[in-house]
A and B are shown apart, each in its own frame.
Chain A
């Protein structure tokens, strides 16, 4: 158990509304990530963070922003949700002896109507 929680676990929202997903970790890991998983695509990186206030874009970052004001929290915001952002969102951290093994939170299932 890597001590990662995500909230909410499920959310249904309407097109055009803002949505914020939260990832919380309890073990002071430096690197945190947001991925989305869709049928036929596998997991794809949205954004990642390498420290407080230090973030960078992944391959599918359009329409998403992130913030990391504390080590333990990494927030993903959809400023104006679209139906194409219906997906399962996973947060991850790196840990382990080699510091590049990633461990995932339980996921947030988001539906945009």
Chain B
């Protein structure tokens, strides 16, 4: 079983739409959670850390449910520039801050 599971998509949405991505993780000892964004043939870039209380950064809102081991990302008012692959990421306990990555969810925002 993969440590971090995500729906691969693709999600095709029109500009201005709201889109939500979900992810589950299997290791209950994980303590750090992130969403990364990866553009085609580029390195992953940190989008936001995810905190237990939930957090927001502009149009992006992340939620964490430790009991269900579930993480979500909501993107409001989608822009064409949001088109990318979104990676759900969880730390590997006892591995020097190393990370477990989901395979990613592909988003395409269309005009």
* A residues lining the B interface (CB < 8 Å): 31, 33, 35, 40-45, 48, 50, 56, 58, 90, 94, 96, 98-107
Contacts and interface: CB of A to CB of B under 8 A. Distances in A.
Contacts of B96: 31, 48, 50, 56
B68 interface: no
B103 interface: yes
A58 B100 CA distance: 11
Contacts, number: 57
Q: Which of A41, A42, A58, A103: most chain B Cβ within 10 A?
A: A42
B85 to A, nearest CB: 10
Main secondary structure of the interface of B (DSSP, over half): loop
B17 interface: no
Contacts of B49: 98, 101
A38 to B, nearest CB: 10
Contacts of B57: none
B86 to A, nearest CB: 12
B56 to A, nearest CB: 17
Given A45-B95, A58-B98, A104 B44 contact: yes
9 contacts: A33-B99, A35-B101, A42-B104, A43-B44, A44-B101, A48-B98, A100-B91, A102-B99, A106-B42
B32 A98 contact: yes
Given A33-B98, A45-B99, A58-B95, A101 B46 contact: yes
